[in-house]
A = this chain, B = another copy of it.
Amino acid sequence: MRPMTHPNLEDITLEGIFYALSDKTRLRIIANLYKEKSITLNCMQAMCGIDNIPASTTSHHFRVLRECGIIRSVREGKECHSQLRLDELDQKFPGLLQMTMNNWSE
């Protein structure tokens, strides 16, 4: 299993972030993580309320979110715990995540 990679702050691009946000499922995941800002969630928790996505697809979505720089994930035991890179993102693209969540309904 290859190690999880995360881009450095300076390598995160606006268009990369927008790409990650251009999918309903990923927006729902982000919304779940945003609700629980202060704690990390495992995949199942982060997928709470999102219907019936195959595990492989879920894994793909988390990879997209990770590799564009929106979330940070660490393996803990047999789970993978993720959280938003809130402070970093807010430093690089002020207001982006907040605006997104303000405008996200569903």
Contact = CB atoms under 8 A, between A and B. Distances in A.
Protomer copies: 2
Interface string A47-83: 0000000000000000000000000000000000000
A21 to B, nearest CB: 4
Contacts of A9: none
Contact of A22 (B18, B24, B95, B100): B18
A28 to B, nearest CB: 10
Contacts of A93: 99, 103
A96 interface: yes
10 contacts: A14-B21, A14-B103, A15-B22, A15-B24, A18-B22, A19-B22, A21-B22, A95-B99, A95-B103, A96-B99
Contact of A94 (B16, B24, B102, B104): B102
Contacts of A104: 14
A23 interface: yes
